[in-house]
Chains A and B, each alone.
Chain A
């Protein structure tokens, strides 16, 4: 892992100038490493991790999808096709009782439902779907949502 990526993965939000200072490399070197990461395809993009509890304008659901595999490419064509929908945030091929697991986001419950019966279920090759709505998040991409960890009364000075 390159040093810039390692620093970012620690989860502090530092400007590139601050990263340069901490790592004792030039600002240009930080920019170069960042560009490299994207070029190599190791980093797909940069976006903040939002607190889902603060988001009142969307609902999220998990959908289990059974599909019939094809002779050429197995599940790939259908999985890629389903991934194209903007409502689909994540799409994985799974082992076990179903084939694809989708994480879907839409403005409201009705729109998720419409996505399932108008778009998803009607695709040739989709055998069945099972939709679960997310009720409450407790941990989002490594961040706990249950408030502060640690002791807020920790003294400022100790031996």
Chain B
């Protein structure tokens, strides 16, 4: 029987294009023997002491719901951690919400703030969910392109140019997935001043902040006038290698947290208690393992970026995250063609830059969260393929 159920799907959902990463996912799934530089997560398994804390919680029968906002013990640890790392303080009782990853918190923040038709500025290339999440919240997403020459930082000038009446929110994600871009403090100050001038709110996804290799990470929430208009989003997936635990949090002024919490309590109830218990352990005792992982990413980055440049694929030096974003335009192919041919012919999986928005055209994302052995072999394969195919 023919499936006619498409007609039941809501228009605004049907209107969202399928993620570019999904298309590529099905191609990659058939290529079992390829080396993957395509994963958006750490290659490390969660440190044992954190896994053990989750097992212990299970043994003790901690299998119930928690407070909608998350366990108070966890919110207290988050408050301490955020104050130490980002230099902004939030009340564990009223200004912190624990959710199912940063992804859920992005959705909550947008739904809590947007009236239909409100405009949201975001920089691109960016994480795949930003623009669709805005559309799902009945907002209008406006991309601010970023460029390799600026190391994929958003410039105050580009932001000012892109602004138009009706812009309520600015979404930031530095260090950035997929480019590893960061913004220096001076530029961030100008951006903050502009946001204050236009009375906008910032949703700042700082999930990669611990993986900053050069200089200090500065949160926009810590800048003058910003705490009252910033939703700081953070989580455990990247820094503590806890992607599968699905746990993250939002810090913001009480009225905004309360609004986000209303949505969260009706759609999610609370984050899984075992993940919350594991997160407490991560914050209490996870720093040394985290720093060790960062050190390894740092050295892998230096290696892989140098290799891409040697191969004639110009690559800026990502100052954070575990992604390199080389320019592949010299191969004379589109991002999608390049990534598809390279996975089939060279057996190396990378994600086409266009999966992260139109301004990713001409680039691919190569995650260096994998072993040296893989990085060496992958870049060798790529080199041989380029020799054969580049005119």
* A contact residues vs B (CB 8 Å cutoff): 7, 10, 12-14, 18, 21-22, 24, 149-151, 154-159
Contacts and interface: CB of A to CB of B under 8 A. Distances in A.
Contacts of A158: 21, 25, 38-41
Nearest to A158: B40
A149 B29 CA distance: 21
Contacts of A157: 21, 24-25, 28-29, 36, 38-39, 349, 351
A46 to B, nearest CB: 18
A158 B372 CA distance: 20
Interface residues of B, number: 31
Contacts of B376: 14, 18, 21-22
A16 to B, nearest CB: 13
Contacts of A14: 372-373, 376
Contacts, number: 61
A154 B39 contact: yes
Nearest to A21: B376
Contacts of B21: 157-159
B306 interface: yes
B88 interface: no
Q: Select the residue from A13, A149, A159 with max chain B CB neighbours within 10 A.
A: A159
A12 B371 contact: yes
A118 B40 CA distance: 61
Contacts of B128: 159
A18 B302 CA distance: 14
Contacts of B349: 156-157
B63 interface: no
A121 B294 CA distance: 51
Given A21-B303, A24-B306, A150-B45, A156 B38 contact: yes
B36 A156 contact: yes
A12 B372 contact: yes
B72 interface: no
Nearest to B26: A157
Q: Select the residue from A13, A24, A150, A158 with max chain B CB neighbours within 10 A.
A: A158
B127 A159 contact: yes
B85 interface: no
Contacts of A156: 28-29, 31, 34, 36, 38-39, 349
Contacts of B31: 156
Contacts of B41: 158
Contacts of A150: 45
Interface in B33-48: 34, 36, 38-41, 45
A159 B40 contact: yes
A52 to B, nearest CB: 22
A21 B351 CA distance: 25
A22 B377 CA distance: 12
B303 A10 contact: no
Nearest to B350: A157
B296 to A, nearest CB: 7
A131 B34 CA distance: 50
A21 B296 CA distance: 15
B302 A24 contact: yes
Given A12-B371, A12-B373, A14-B372, A155 B303 contact: no
